[in-house]
Structure 1
Amino acid sequence: MRSKELVVKRFWSTTGVVALTGALLLTSAPTASADYVRDKQWVIDVINFKKVWAESQGEGVTVAVVDTGVDGSHPDLTGQVLKGMDVTGSGDAQNDTNGHGTGMASLIAGHGHGTNNSEGVIGLAPKAKILPIKASSTGDDYRDDQWAEGVRYAVDQGADVINLSFGGSSTSPDPEATEAIKYALQHNVVVVSGTGNDGTAGLEYPAKLPGVVAVGAVDESLKVWKNSNFGPGVTLTAPGVNIARADTSEASGYAEGSGVSDATAYVSAAAALVRAKYPDLTAGQVINRLIKSATFLDHDVKKVPDEEYGYGIIRPYAALTRDIPKGPKQGPLAQSAPSTSTNSGTASDDDSTSQAKKKKKKSSSGSILLIAGIAAVVVVIGIAAVVIRSRRNGGNGGPGSGGGTPPAGTGYPPQPPTGYQPYPNTPPSQGYPAPPGQSPQHPNPYAQQPPHQGQ
């Protein structure tokens, strides 16, 4: 049994001072800034938070953040954080000396502060409640038995969504961790995790477990982040690069980082928005709505789900407003597991297929690969015909909009732990940089390109 060992790690976010001017691919003329931290939140303009909030703000929904704890005294989170539980036995769930858990909570349910809450970090679901589950004191020591206990506690406390911003190796977790995820799914809870911050093929656990929403990250240009893990099983992608967030480990109270952790938090927030507006939907049907409202913009995606984008980039407003059939109660991810059936049209191993796609390595499979390739072409042609017909039909959009979306894998990653090698080129969080002046505002790229499914 590995339950007494450190088997899970937090995904460190790439942080540091990055000059936005000249570094962003989507910019517009700078405008006067009331608050530097708020201006740094480029996601606000891209997703158009205000438009989303006209439909839902996450009222009545509880999101459990299994992480390093959540500091409920942070000015952007006052009144949002419940008591929670410290499964490490070392203290209070609201004692977050690391800052990562507080950061994730701020992206989900931060309400800002100051006049009209115009300062600080604003979350995508600012009226949702946060249930903090402290599963690590340092961000490096997530034990399977402990975070599994935290997941079960969250379920028993009535959490509607569980955010898991940590990940481990490609080997399976202990049975109690797997059973805890099953317990959450059986009790109608949306579980969200990340693909990993290595930029390589293969999802990590717990994101890889069946039924978990596996999230990758996109940058300001809405292209997949270079360090976002990919492969069969990616469910959705969301903003995760140069993200301003709360961080009580810093003197300023804020930090900026990049990673699938942040993307995961935004998907959890989107799930909270849908659960608030459509309380009659099951967890699976909430995921179905997120999937069928997602978009690929103008990215060249040949097959859905894609190994990098999954079913696409989240569109919270579309998820809240489109006419999407409920679909089966279990949703599209039930019974799902990574397999060659969700591969991108080749007959090679899942991971080697993805690696060939990303690294463009030559294959040496010889005649066997050639024969398999011919068979794959036949399959791809058939799939293409279905996709083309679906695009022409428009309407409810999304893969398999009539109900049974093909099974997809799961997973999403957060930040790294002690005792494990940190992900390459991903240093720990640093303090928020001093305001250099004004920063650019960003246009809404969602409005610039049609989604992949006819709306």
Structure 2
Amino acid sequence: MRLALTRTAVVAAVGVSVILGGSAAVAAPLPETAPAVPVAPAASPAPVTVDAPADPARAAEYWLDDYGIRTAWQTTRGAGTTIAVIDTGIARGPVEFGGVVGGKDFSGTGSSDGRKPVGAVDANHGSWVASLAASRGTGVDTGMIGVAPEANLLSASIGFGAAASVPFVEQVADAMRWAVDNGADVINLSFTTNTLTWDQSWDEAFLYAFQHDVVVIVAAGNKGSGTDEVGAPSTIPGVLTVAGVDRAGAASVEASTQGITIGVSAPSEELLGVSADGQLVVWEGTSGAAPIVAGIAALVRSAHPDLDAANVINRIIRTAKPAAGQTSVPGPLYGYGLVDAAAAVGASVSAVTANPMGSLEEWIRLNRRAQAPSVPQPTVTPYIPPPLPDAAPAPKPQSPLLPTRETLVYGTVPLLGGTVAAIMVALGVTAAARRIRSTRASSTSSR
């Protein structure tokens, strides 16, 4: 099983060089000033007055307006909800992460509170993901702000490959249960295994989340990192899988993949992220699309606290807008379409009685044959025959040279009787023969 965070690239946002594909790359900085206003030429040009520039971070977050998030904020900003980020850890330092209310490490190499970034390569990944979901910003109108800026965060740190001393499947299973037990309303998983199937231990872990009414959001994976089709955990029935689109709303070539399990699509290119050291970066991947949808799920749960997880997911997929050129809804490229936070929060949507993304419990029943229930016992009372009589006591042992009752009755006595009878018959016959001879002899002598 090949593990991968669903990140394909990261570049610096404010002129800071970072490693990209093994070499340093410098991105163009975010705009720090507003563009100049053109004026008609004059003999003596007058000075031009322009408005104060907007905060560059807020200005770069195009998804806030394009996907109805600012409109949804008129109803709620996610207060009263908790998003668990199961990733490489949410850093302690940046003020944007003031919403973290708890954490734990499951990699065996992080800190006990789950706030130490895990891994040499992907250490910032968990912080980037968390900043898109629920960053607080650095002020009222400054700094990067998340989709649900008033939601709480849980940091469950996990590691990949050599970055962990605990098997990956075990880390995820334990982190899922911990997140549920610590009050998560939404769980975000921005990684893929690049395989359709999953370890059997995940059956119980994900089922535990669904049975406790938790919405699970999963990234679809990126073609740029070698993911040609969706892989677990995005293939697990019941999760909401998120594909990625570019700024124009078209399926991302490098930062998304496709598959029949995709639920909705969200931005995965030109995204912002707050690093562990507080630096702001631009990055891409469905790792970023997923927490945008996780934030929207938190907005829905905050606005509609009476809804269960199945209906939260249903509102998100039913209010999504089909992408330009999308021919089938749902489809393997966009799912139900581009997510719309304002509609998900405010639209009228009919309730459902089951998770529209499938039932893991039913899948287990059909596919885990070894776990099939035992054959039911018959309900008819079986016939029980009466007990047999007690066996006769065994005879006392005696010498084989002495006669027994059986040998006397059935052997010796009959044999003796028969012998006596035979002797008596023989004696009678002999006596009769003698009389006959005697009579004949007398007759002869008389003559």
Q: Name the TM tier (shorter chain).
A: 0.5 to 0.7
| The 10-residue stretch of structure 1 (135-144 or 154-163) with the greater mean CA deviation from structure 2 | 135-144
Q: Confirm whether residue 132 of structure 1 aligns to residue 155 of structure 2.
A: yes
Q: Show the counterpart of 1:15.
A: 10
* Aligned positions of 1:333-348 closer than 5 A: 333-335=357-359
Q: Show the counterpart of 1:81.
A: 100
Question: Aligned match of 1:292 in 311, 318, 335?
Answer: 318
**Residues in 2 aligned to 1:255 and 1:42: alpha-carbon distance in whole angstroms:** 15
* Aligned positions of 1:105-254 closer than 5 A: 105-114=130-139, 116=140, 118-136=141-159, 143-198=168-223, 201-227=228-254, 228-249=256-277, 253-254=279-280
- Does the 8 A contact of 2:68 with 2:341 survive in 1? no
Offset of 1:19 from its aligned partner?
A: 4.8
**Residues in 2 aligned to 1:289 and 1:67: alpha-carbon distance in whole angstroms:** 26
| The 10-residue stretch of structure 1 (11-20 or 152-161) with the greater mean CA deviation from structure 2 | 11-20
SS at match of 2:237: coil
Offset of 1:44 from its aligned partner?
A: 2.1
- Does the 8 A contact of 1:294 with 1:313 survive in 2? yes
**Residues in 1 aligned to 2:326 and 2:160: alpha-carbon distance in whole angstroms:** 41
Offset of 1:320 from its aligned partner?
A: 0.8
**Residues in 2 aligned to 1:139 and 1:231: alpha-carbon distance in whole angstroms:** 30
SS at match of 1:63: strand
| The 10-residue stretch of structure 1 (94-103 or 126-135) with the greater mean CA deviation from structure 2 | 94-103
- Does the 8 A contact of 2:218 with 2:233 survive in 1? yes
**Residues in 1 aligned to 2:108 and 2:298: alpha-carbon distance in whole angstroms:** 29
Uncovered stretches (5+) of structure 2, i.e. residues with no partner: 12-25, 31-37, 39-49, 364-447
Question: Aligned match of 1:36 in 53, 56, 64?
Answer: 56
Relative contact order, higher structure (CA 8 A, sep 6+): 1
Q: Give the residue type in structure 2 aligned to 1:42.
A: Y
**Residues in 2 aligned to 1:111 and 1:33: alpha-carbon distance in whole angstroms:** 21
**Residues in 1 aligned to 2:162 and 2:302: alpha-carbon distance in whole angstroms:** 30
Q: Show the counterpart of 2:287.
A: 261
**Residues in 2 aligned to 1:31 and 1:8: alpha-carbon distance in whole angstroms:** 48
SS at match of 1:70: coil
Question: Aligned match of 2:115 in 94, 111, 117?
Answer: 94
SS at match of 2:144: strand
The superposition leaves residues 279-302 of structure 1 with CA deviations (integer Å, 9 ceiling, x where unpaired) of 1111011000001100014x1222
Uncovered stretches (5+) of structure 1, i.e. residues with no partner: 1-5, 22-28, 340-455
**Residues in 1 aligned to 2:81 and 2:331: alpha-carbon distance in whole angstroms:** 30
Question: Aligned match of 2:309 in 274, 283, 286?
Answer: 283
**Residues in 2 aligned to 1:72 and 1:271: alpha-carbon distance in whole angstroms:** 25
The superposition leaves residues 157-190 of structure 1 with CA deviations (integer Å, 9 ceiling, x where unpaired) of 1211000011112142221123211111111110
**Residues in 2 aligned to 1:226 and 1:140: alpha-carbon distance in whole angstroms:** 29
- Does the 8 A contact of 2:92 with 2:276 survive in 1? no
Q: Larger C-alpha radius of gyration, 1 or 2?
A: 2
Q: Show the counterpart of 2:128.
A: 103
**Residues in 2 aligned to 1:288 and 1:68: alpha-carbon distance in whole angstroms:** 29
- Does the 8 A contact of 2:196 with 2:230 survive in 1? no
**Residues in 2 aligned to 1:20 and 1:321: alpha-carbon distance in whole angstroms:** 36
| The 10-residue stretch of structure 1 (170-179 or 258-267) with the greater mean CA deviation from structure 2 | 170-179
Q: Give the residue type in structure 2 aligned to 1:113.
A: T
Per the alignment, do residues 42 and 20 of structure 1 end up closer, same or farther by CA in structure 2, a change over 3 Å counting?
A: farther
SS at match of 1:37: helix
Calculate the TM-score normalised by the size of structure 1: 0.66
**Residues in 2 aligned to 1:89 and 1:311: alpha-carbon distance in whole angstroms:** 39
Q: Structure 1 residue runs of 4+, over 6 Å off?
A: 137-140
Q: Give the residue type in structure 2 aligned to 1:66.
A: I
Offset of 1:231 from its aligned partner?
A: 2.0
**Residues in 1 aligned to 2:333 and 2:315: alpha-carbon distance in whole angstroms:** 20
Q: Give the residue type in structure 2 aligned to 1:248.
A: A
Per the alignment, do residues 39 and 124 of structure 1 end up closer, same or farther by CA in structure 2, a change over 3 Å counting?
A: same
Question: Aligned match of 1:324 in 342, 346, 349?
Answer: 349
Q: Show the counterpart of 1:383.
A: none
**Residues in 2 aligned to 1:173 and 1:162: alpha-carbon distance in whole angstroms:** 18
SS at match of 1:193: strand
SS at match of 1:181: helix
Offset of 1:233 from its aligned partner?
A: 1.2
CA-based RMSD of the aligned residues comes to: 2.6
Per the alignment, do residues 139 and 38 of structure 1 end up closer, same or farther by CA in structure 2, a change over 3 Å counting?
A: farther
Q: Give the residue type in structure 1 aligned to 2:287.
A: S
Offset of 1:123 from its aligned partner?
A: 0.5
Q: Show the counterpart of 1:344.
A: none
The superposition leaves residues 107-126 of structure 1 with CA deviations (integer Å, 9 ceiling, x where unpaired) of 11111113x2x222100100
Q: Give the residue type in structure 2 aligned to 1:84.
A: G
Q: Give the residue type in structure 1 aligned to 2:233.
A: P
Calculate the TM-score normalised by the size of structure 2: 0.67
Per the alignment, do residues 84 and 246 of structure 1 end up closer, same or farther by CA in structure 2, a change over 3 Å counting?
A: same
Offset of 1:336 from its aligned partner?
A: 7.0
- Does the 8 A contact of 2:195 with 2:232 survive in 1? yes
| The 10-residue stretch of structure 1 (80-89 or 287-296) with the greater mean CA deviation from structure 2 | 80-89
Per the alignment, do residues 38 and 137 of structure 1 end up closer, same or farther by CA in structure 2, a change over 3 Å counting?
A: farther
**Residues in 2 aligned to 1:81 and 1:20: alpha-carbon distance in whole angstroms:** 29
Per the alignment, do residues 32 and 307 of structure 1 end up closer, same or farther by CA in structure 2, a change over 3 Å counting?
A: farther
**Residues in 2 aligned to 1:64 and 1:180: alpha-carbon distance in whole angstroms:** 15
- Does the 8 A contact of 2:6 with 2:219 survive in 1? no
**Residues in 2 aligned to 1:148 and 1:8: alpha-carbon distance in whole angstroms:** 15
